[in-house]
Structure 1
Amino acid sequence: MINRLWNSLLDLVYPPRCYSCGKAGTQFCPTCLAECIPLTPPQRPQPLAADSPLERALGIYPFQGSLRAAIHAFKYQNAHPLAQILAPLLFDFCAWQNVVLMPVPLHGVRKRERGYNQAELLARNLAKAWQLPLSTDLQRVRATEHQVGQQAQARANNVAGAFEWRGQQPAPSHVLLIDDVLTTGSTFEACASALIAAGSTAVEGLALAKAIIKPASPLDSPE
């Protein structure tokens, strides 16, 4: 009760502003929220190699525009309340039953620096809305470099062996990994490898947004 009153007073003195357009009143205004148009079903899956440990990896919205700005704030600007606005963007895309939701984990050092794991906040909201169990027993046991800006192979090398199942054996049979952004799928695959090794039989990945990677142009080739 005291926290709610304090937050209300803060909102009166320092009204929240949309992290995308700056409009006062909310952290993600209705206008910017309305700009979040889901990808068509054929655009959502990330192509995976035949030997991938993942069953599939899906990103529901394009990682661009107002959603990109909101996710950036969610991850890097301590805008953790955005989880309650962003998670509902996924509520209509539940086609899973008998799965355990599992957020992609942060390494302990980075989680302490940030104060929270944005994927876990999304997963907790989804678990509540979908009435599915959630586990945080998948752990990131090796600190890794940021994936942003790295090419596909470098991304895969960066997260290889970085995750480990620390829960009861075996790991849940069917797992749905949750993350904020899907780019190449390498993080999902590294998580899936750890889960399969611990006894999972099917692992899928679901991300709020999917990076749209444009094919390289010949003009982009180095001389």
Structure 2
Amino acid sequence: MEGRRSCLGIVCDTIADWLFPCFCLQCKQEGNTMCEICKESYTPKRTGDTCPFCRKKSLGSLTCESCRTLVALDRCLSLGWYHDSVLREAIRAAKYTDDPAPWKLFPEWMRKMSIENIFFGDTWVVSFVPLHVSRRRERGFDQAERIAHLVGEATKFPVVDLLERAEWTDPQAQRDARERQVGDMDGIFQVIKHPIPSRVILCDDVLTSGATMDAAAQILKQAGAEQVCGFVLARRGGE
């Protein structure tokens, strides 16, 4: 019986591959989500040293002096810009399909940016910006939590669930740019674990205005964190 199930699974996978062929995100060659040649040659388009909020030049993607008076997030690193079509499509596939392939690409891109060398010392804890429980139930997983575990594996820092989303909000990407402002997400998170570590790497998939991640950073600092740095797969803007 077990052998029959295995054979049936192979047949189903073969039919699925035939009906829905996979193409390389970069060269569009049929076969895999990323062919071996592109996997070696591709690197996400770096955001450079810019403030995560105003996008002015800022060494190490630190929040600039002007924005620092208004926000709690100290810094936000990313793999690249969201307008990079390869990175964007990989993120979309990871969020909205059950294809595991994109999740195997992100660690390789983290390795290329040497994320393990960016955060010094052994006192960092990795956490994430959580989905609302209803959205997590709908999707079946929390992509930010998965990203946090990838960062934890790359840096060897512990991953800890620190926050929960107390209020439902529409995704930032669905809001008009003029409606997205830092501060309009304040109060949507609450701390679920004490004591709060002094240094937190906060993970999410995409940084849009920075309002959501800053709201999470703000509540962490109110609870005792001294430094909160963000890590996202991509940042919007810079087009």
TM-score computed with the length of structure 2 as normaliser: 0.76
Residue identity (%): 29
Question: Match of 1:27?
Answer: 33
**How far apart are residue 123 of structure 1 and its match?**
1.3
Residue 184 of structure 1: SS of its match in structure 2? coil
Deviation sequence 1:47-87 (CA, Å, 0-9, x none): 44122211112223121211111111211233355222223
- Given the superposition, is the C-alpha separation of residues 143 and 155 from structure 1 closer, same or farther in structure 2, using an over 3 Å criterion? farther
Structure 1 position 142 matched with structure 2 position 167: yes
**How far apart are residue 7 of structure 1 and its match?**
11
CA contact (8 A) 2:79 2:232 kept: yes
Q: Provide the rounded CA distance (Å) in 1 between the counterparts of 2:214 and 2:99.
A: 28
CA contact (8 A) 1:46 1:57 kept: no
CA RMSD, 1 decimal: 2.8
Deviation sequence 1:114-159 (CA, Å, 0-9, x none): 1111111121122123211001121111111111143265353552
The alignment of Structure 1 onto Structure 2 pairs a total of residues equal to 210
Q: Provide the rounded CA distance (Å) in 1 between the counterparts of 2:8 and 2:127.
A: 30
Q: Provide the rounded CA distance (Å) in 2 between the counterparts of 1:179 and 1:7.
A: 37
Structure 1 position 39 matched with structure 2 position 46: yes
- The correspondence for 1:154, drawn from 175, 180, 196, is 180
Counterparts in 2 of 1:57-96, with a 5 A limit?
57-63=76-82, 64-91=84-111, 92-94=114-116, 95-96=118-119
Q: Provide the rounded CA distance (Å) in 1 between the counterparts of 2:235 and 2:108.
A: 16
Deviation sequence 1:21-56 (CA, Å, 0-9, x none): 654432333455444334164247544412221111
**1:178 partner amino acid:** C
**2:22 partner amino acid:** R
CA contact (8 A) 1:119 1:180 kept: yes
Q: Provide the rounded CA distance (Å) in 2 between the counterparts of 1:6 and 1:146.
A: 42
Question: Match of 2:218?
Answer: 193
**2:98 partner amino acid:** N
CA contact (8 A) 1:80 1:118 kept: no
TM-score computed with the length of structure 1 as normaliser: 0.80
Structure 1 position 125 matched with structure 2 position 150: yes
Residue 42 of structure 1: SS of its match in structure 2? coil
CA contact (8 A) 1:101 1:132 kept: yes
- Give the stretch that moved more between structures: 89-98 or 73-82: 73-82
- Given the superposition, is the C-alpha separation of residues 101 and 77 from structure 1 closer, same or farther in structure 2, using an over 3 Å criterion? same
Question: Match of 1:14?
Answer: 16
Residue 58 of structure 1: SS of its match in structure 2? strand
**1:57 partner amino acid:** C
Q: Provide the rounded CA distance (Å) in 2 between the counterparts of 1:78 and 1:99.
A: 31
CA contact (8 A) 1:74 1:80 kept: yes
- The correspondence for 2:75, drawn from 34, 46, 56, is 56
- Given the superposition, is the C-alpha separation of residues 29 and 105 from structure 1 closer, same or farther in structure 2, using an over 3 Å criterion? farther
**Unaligned ranges ≥5, structure 1:** 215-223
Deviation sequence 1:145-176 (CA, Å, 0-9, x none): 111143265353552211111012x2111000
CA contact (8 A) 1:78 1:114 kept: no
Residue 172 of structure 2: SS of its match in structure 1? coil
CA contact (8 A) 2:180 2:209 kept: no
- Given the superposition, is the C-alpha separation of residues 35 and 138 from structure 1 closer, same or farther in structure 2, using an over 3 Å criterion? same
**Unaligned ranges ≥5, structure 2:** 55-62
